Amino acid sequence: MINSTNSADFRHLVTPGDIITEDTGFMRGHGTYMNDNKLYASIAGVVERVNKLISVRPLRTRYSGEVGDVIVGRITEVAHKRWKVDTFSKLDSVLLLSSVNLPGGELRRRSAEDELVMREYLSEGDLIIAEVQSLFADGSLSLHTRNLKYGKLSQGTMLCVSPSIIKRCKTHFHNLPCGATVILGNNGYIWIGPVMSQQSDLSLKSSERKEEAISITEREIIARLRNCISCLADHRILLYDTSILHAYEASLRFQVKELLKAEVQDEIVDETHANIAQQA
């Protein structure tokens, strides 16, 4: 239970029904409810306090989008003038035909001919990077890719983590010095692939896209990064470029397959914690 006299930095785990505080001077935030002048937790998570507002950040949750969020998603359906996209939210998101870039950044009204060739741009199973444009009344998201760095992703791997451990940064598009690109979607989907320019034109049709084969060295770097990120996620460490780089550097003395061992993961997590603390 929170002590109102020294709770400024108080954080602890609660489960549904736990009493957070009996002090009536606090305001109810997300994940809480009032009963008999007591503040209870309605979900399992970590208690957080900002001034007089108390909320509970869930340990596991679906993604709730905000306008401007960068997301990684997977096309699930090609429909009438739109694509449906899995973004790890409660409902499928929508990418309208009018919200995508045409090859060369051409600006014009979308015609019936454009609708007929929608699958040449994006088809079921394709991975994309996009931005949240707006929220519908039912909570689903409207996306757009009107930027050269948004569009179809290929030749990489994707993994899913809890959205709550993705740190909100100025950019979620990272070209790491180890020789790979990592895109940290605010929705918890992370894409790892070979180095790409932030101004790459991802709006090209599949038939027009020139893709070079990924070398064995690049594959090993991608696999190592994937295992490092999975390790950090399993230990609930905030994911951003610095924490990922520290984990990658700590993993270099091990083979990629050894990163799946629990004792090796503990060593990497401890070293990552230490390096982050030194920079703080």
Within a domain: residue 151?
yes
What CATH number does the domain containing 101 carry?
2.40.50.140
DSSP secondary-structure letter at 54? E
Q: Which of 113-122, 174-183, 263-272 has the lowest mean pLDDT?
A: 113-122
Within a domain: residue 42?
yes
Within a domain: residue 65?
no
What's the CA gap between 266 and 264, in Å, rounded? 5
Do 106 and 223 belong to one domain? no
Within a domain: residue 2?
no
Within a domain: residue 64?
no
Range 270-276, long-range pairs (CB < 8 A, 24+ positions): 271/246, 272/232, 272/237, 272/243, 272/246, 272/247, 273/237, 275/246, 275/249, 275/250, 276/242, 276/243, 276/246
Pairing mode, strands 93-100 and 45-50: unpaired
Helical H segments across the chain, by residue range: 112-116, 118-121, 216-234, 241-251, 262-279
What CATH number does the domain containing 21 carry?
2.40.50.100
Chain segment 187-238, per-residue pLDDT in tens: 999 999 999 865 555 555 555 566 678 899 999 999 999 999 999 999 989 9
Range of the domain at 147: 70-207
DSSP secondary-structure letter at 215? P
Within a domain: residue 117?
yes
Chain segment 76-99, per-residue pLDDT in tens: 999 988 999 999 998 999 999 988
Tokens 């890719």 belong to which residue?
145
Tokens 């520290």 belong to which residue?
246
Do 156 and 236 belong to one domain? no
Do 34 and 141 belong to one domain? no
